Amino acid sequence: MTLPPALRLPVADAAPALLGHTVTVGGRTGVIVETEAYHEAEPACHAFIGRTARTETLFAAPGVWYVYRSYGIHALLNAVVETEGVGAAVLIRALEPLSGLDEMRARRGPTARTDLDLCSGPGKLSQALGIDVDANGTDVLRGAIRLGPPPPGWEAPDIVDGPRIGITKATELPWRFSVAGNRHVSRPRPRA
């Protein structure tokens, strides 16, 4: 298995390059339709404060997952990118579900009113796929959470960018990327 080239790119290039790839946990798979870039040079990134027990994974070689708990509730999935020693990761914000939808629905429960709600946000997709912080530092190709290549038809999606959401620092950076017009993207949806 070869590391996807997108994971070796600068984070602002890696984030759009990961759109169309798949994430699989067990029999549950979705296509990445929304990402955000985070780099140690900007204050919204956990690596901005330097190496700590929490951020150490961000400085690893590309090809591992950085999974942390947000506000004590949801585990958020990030792919570590660039080169070892640089704190950079791509937040996987939303997926379009492909397989294992019955299990995703059961995991999400009544809060997912439609299938569009299953993975339309970073906490939602972690809940639907069964991702928890114990996956932090695991390999994207050999671990329980697998990053896969784009399925047919997803090789070159049209991409929209805009400012990141859900943060209070470095909000001006246009580092949120999504597949144009995809209805599984989290709200507020970017304008095409």
What is 5-148+157-179's CATH topology? 3-methyladenine DNA Glycosylase; Chain A (3.10.300)
Distance from C-alpha of 7 to C-alpha of 152, rounded to nearest angstrom: 20
Q: Cβ distance 179 to 33 under 8 Å?
A: yes
Cα 46 versus chain centre, distance: 15
Handedness of CA 28, 31, 36, 41 (dihedral sign): positive
Q: How confident is the model over 177-187, as a mean pLDDT?
A: 94
Q: What is the pLDDT of residue 43?
A: 84
**pLDDT tens digit sequence for 103-145:** 999 999 988 889 999 999 999 999 999 999 999 999 999 999 9
Please state the domain extents for the chain: 5-148+157-179
Which class for 148: exposed (0-12), middle (13-18), buried (19 or more C-beta within 10 A)?
middle
Joined together, the tokens standing for residue 168 give: 């209070």
Which tokens in the block code for residue 49?
A: 């404060």
For the chain, what percent of residues have pLDDT higher than 70? Answer: 98
pLDDT (0 to 100) of residue 99:
97
In this structure, which amino acid lies at residue 156? A
**What's the CA gap between 111 and 54, in Å, rounded?**
30
